[in-house]
Amino acid sequence: MNRTSLTAGALSFALAVFVAGQAPAADLPKATQAIMKETKLPAEVLAGLDNELKMPAKWIEGAKKEGTLTVSGTWDADQFEALVGPFRERYPFVTFKYSRATRHDRVIKPLLAYKAGRIVADVISGVGAKFTAFKEINAILDLSQLPNWKNVPDGMKDKNGGWIGQRLRYWCMSYNTSKLKKSELPKTWDDLLTIEKLRDGKVGMGNRPNLWLLSMWDVKGENAIREYARQLFTVVKPQLRKEGMNALISLATAGEFDVALPSAAYRVSQMVPKGAPIGWHCPEPVPMAISEMVAIKGGHENAALMFVNWFASREGQVAQFAANNAPPVHKDLHRREFLAFPDEILGKKIAFRDPEAMENDLKKLMRFWDPMWFSAKGLKLHIVTAKLDKVGRKGRDVTFKVDGKAQKAKVSGSRTGIEIDGADAARAELKAGMTCEIAYPGDGEEATKLDCKK
């Protein structure tokens, strides 16, 4: 798929001319009835649902014997409970164990566990760049066998069946509506570099360029992105924040800064009804990403396939939208009603982040982004090769020597990239005596990566 040619029109983000070929399911679960009443969505969004609820009998019989389905995802716990309400009513024999976790706990730990012969999650959402690692060890089920596979457009699912789109994500910026007018915001991302009112700490920026800047990699090209990042740090001079992206929205609301970058549309939309002075704005091109969902081999496979198949149905997608305002990936639900800020998206050029190319492009981006980030904080990113003299607190810090001088680096379980002999690893696996390439911004600071050999 040509990522640079995607547009909002090509993705059918407009009011659909809908022909209801079939009536909605006759006996909707009470949870679905409540969702439809609460969202005020037209009944036609569930047209044809009866066909989409058909499941292979062997899955149903198998799921009845499997026990608890373990799901690791990015929904808040209460959002997940709301999301699975209709599924629980339809299939009460499937019970859930759900955990919302950091990327490390959600993705890396299940990956490492699988390599060790253990299965700790049956369904994982938000796999991102580590999809390739799961595929290489043959850990994922082929989702192209799902009856509802056809509901998700090409480009929003793995062409070989490895992952299916969970939701669409638009990562742009949120802004404090008490401090800025809509007219004062950049129309394009290049405009952000020229608006003096947004310079010198008026933008609070998180260290997550993968969420927005990476989407424009193919639109602008590597050299242009490098120069854009340089001007962002040296001309705009944003506040460099260590908080999570959701926390940045709250800080912008509180007036800590005027603009939070990046911000997800659906998260901002959850705060607007509460009266918060916060809005969401998207310069062009609109960065769009797909959150990916995979099902793991060898665990509760039947229940996992049932859940993912239901999730790809109209009912599953509408339930997710009701739970957290996430735009559906279902091909017939690319409609204005499902966009929290439709005028910020419709009719604009889309910059699509392809999950399959993400890992390679992300590494290229971070090679120049990380040094700029630390330089802007008054630090220099050092990359050294050294033997670990000491590993403290179960891998939370490491001590090594550089030119005969002892150095110490903190190790984050979620932010520090760790590899041992070329494979992803947890910090608890770090051992004294290993030789590692260490990237860190100075003694006592947090390392960005440790690539070690036993």
Predicted confidence (pLDDT) at residue 23 exceeds the cutoff of 80: no
Average pLDDT, the chain: 89
CATH fold for domain 379-453: OB fold (Dihydrolipoamide Acetyltransferase, E2P) (2.40.50)
Residue for token digits 């990403």?
A: 289
- Which range has the top average pLDDT, 250-254, 393-397, 409-413? 250-254
- Among 261, 278, 276, residue whose Cα is nearest residue 195: 261
Instruction: Report the relative pairing of strands 203-206 and 259-264 from DSSP bridges.
Output: parallel
The number of beta carbons lying within 10 Å of the beta carbon of residue 288 is 24
Half-sphere exposure in the Cβ direction for 51 (13 Å, CA): 11
pLDDT tens figures, 53-97: 999 999 999 999 998 999 999 899 999 999 999 999 999 999 999
The DSSP secondary-structure symbol of 310 reads: H
User: Which secondary-structure segment (H or E) carries 87?
Assistant: helix 85-90
- Record the tokens describing residue 124, joined without a space: 């994982």
pLDDT tens figures, 228-263: 999 999 999 999 998 999 999 999 999 999 999 999
pTM, rounded to two decimals? 0.73
pLDDT at 12: 37
pLDDT at 359: 67
Task: Report, as an integer, the average pLDDT of 343-364.
Answer: 83
CATH fold for domain 3-168+289-354: D-Maltodextrin-Binding Protein; domain 2 (3.40.190)
Cα three-residue angle 55-13-32, rounded to 5 degrees: 40
Q: Where in the chain is the domain with CATH 2.40.50.320?
A: 379-453
pLDDT at 104: 74
Q: Where in the chain is the domain with CATH 3.40.190.10?
A: 3-168+289-354, 170-288
What letters, b where the CB count within 10 A reaches 16 and e where it falls short, cover 103-140?
bbbbbbbbbbbbeeeeebbbbbbbbbbbbebbbeeebb
Predicted confidence (pLDDT) at residue 20 exceeds the cutoff of 50: no
User: What is the three-class DSSP state of 73?
Assistant: strand
pLDDT at 27: 83
- Among 15, 28, 55, 107, residue whose Cα is nearest residue 318: 28
CATH fold for domain 170-288: D-Maltodextrin-Binding Protein; domain 2 (3.40.190)
The 3-class SS string of 28-47 reads CCHHHHHHHHHHCCCHHHHC
Q: Using 50, 70 and 90 to split pLDDT, how confident is the model at 168?
A: confident
